[in-house]
C-alpha cells in the first residue's frame, strides 16, 4: 500500500499534475518503520543494517530493506556499502534533505509526549469502558 501511495505521488509530479505539499510530505513517511528509521538517524551518525534489526522491534529484514530503499529513492537517506574482510556491510545516514526533516520529527515527538501525559491524567481515558482503538 505504501508503495502505491508513493508511486501515485511520483506519477502526479512527473505529469505536472501535482501541487499538494502535504500529500508529498506524508508520502515520504508512508511506511511502518520510516519514522523510526529517521528518528534513529537524527544525530547524524551512520547506522548499520544489523543495528536497525536490533533497534526496531519485530521488523523483518525484507520490510526493513524495502523501507530503507524507499528512503534512499526519496533522497532522504544514503547508503554506504563496504567490506570488512570477507564480510559485506551497509550503513545508512541522513542526507541534507533528510536532516531537514528532523525538526518536524522532533515537534511530532514532543507533541506525542505531551499528548501521552494528557491522556494519563484525563479521567475519560481512565474509565474501563473507553476504547482508544474505536
Residue 73 confidence (pLDDT) above 70: yes
Question: Which residue has cell 500529500?
Answer: 23
Which pLDDT score, from 0 to 100, does residue 1 have? 47
DSSP bridge partners of 87: 84
The structural domains of the chain, with segments of one domain joined by +, span: 1-30, 33-123
Query: pLDDT digit string (tens) for 6-28?
Result: 677 777 777 777 677 777 777 77
Alpha-carbon separation of residue 126 from 52, 111, 120, 121, 130 (angstroms): 35, 20, 7, 8, 7
Residue 3 confidence (pLDDT) above 80: no
Residue 127 confidence (pLDDT) above 60: no
Per-residue confidence band for 91, with pLDDT thresholds at 50, 70 and 90: very high
Q: What is the CA radius of gyration of the chain?
A: 18
Exposed, middle or buried, 52 (CB in 10 Å: 0-12/13-18/19+)? buried
Residue 126 confidence (pLDDT) above 80: no
Residue 85 confidence (pLDDT) above 70: yes
CATH classification number, 33-123, choose in 1.10.10.10, 3.40.50.1400, 3.30.300.20, 1.10.4030.10: 1.10.10.10
Amino acid at each position: 500500500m505504501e508503495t502505491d501511495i508513493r508511486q501515485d505521488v511520483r506519477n502526479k509530479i512527473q505529469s505536472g499534475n501535482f501541487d499538494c505539499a502535504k500529500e508529498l510530505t506524508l508520502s515520504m513517511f508512508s511506511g511502518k518503520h520510516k519514522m523510526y528509521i529517521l528518528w534513529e538517524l537524527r544525530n547524524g551518525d551512520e547506522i548499520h543494517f544489523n543495528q536497525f534489526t536490533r533497534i526496531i522491534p519485530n521488523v523483518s529484514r525484507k520490510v526493513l530493506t524495502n523501507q530503507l530503499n524507499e528512503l534512499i529513492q526519496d533522497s532522504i537517506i544514503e547508503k554506504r556499502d563496504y567490506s570488512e574482510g570477507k564480510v559485506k556491510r551497509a550503513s545508512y545516514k541522513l542526507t541534507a534533505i533528510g536532516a531537514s526533516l528532523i525538526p518536524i520529527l522532533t515537534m511530532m515527538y514532543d507533541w506525542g509526549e505531551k499528548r501521552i501525559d494528557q491522556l494519563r491524567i484525563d479521567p475519560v481515558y481512565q474509565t474501563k469502558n473507553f476504547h482508544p482503538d474505536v
